[in-house]
Amino acid sequence: MDKIEKLFRKISKDEIRLLKELINNLILKKTKGMDIIKIEDTDFFRLKKRKFRIIFHYNNKDIIIDSIKLRNEKTYKC
């Protein structure tokens, strides 16, 4: 079982909808008003919404999602 599948088993249907909406908006570049910052000393960015953290980077003009995590003390560790 992969990490994304485990995550979806942990969260509620409303949270799944929210997560899908965040990913869709990120892919469609509808990021106005989203809490996105560049992670210091890396090429990665962090999108934060409620307890979700989406770590991503840009490859040319494409967005590559590297991880989706629930917020905890290990979220930003490599």
Q: What structural domains and CATH numbers belong to the chain?
A: 3-70 (3.30.2310.20)
Band the pLDDT of 76: cuts 50, 70, 90: low
Spatial distance between the Cα atoms of 44 and 63, rounded to a whole number of angstroms: 10
Band the pLDDT of 47: cuts 50, 70, 90: very high
Measured distance between the N- and C-terminal CA atoms of the chain, rounded to whole angstroms: 21
**Per-residue pLDDT, 18:** 92
pTM: 0.78
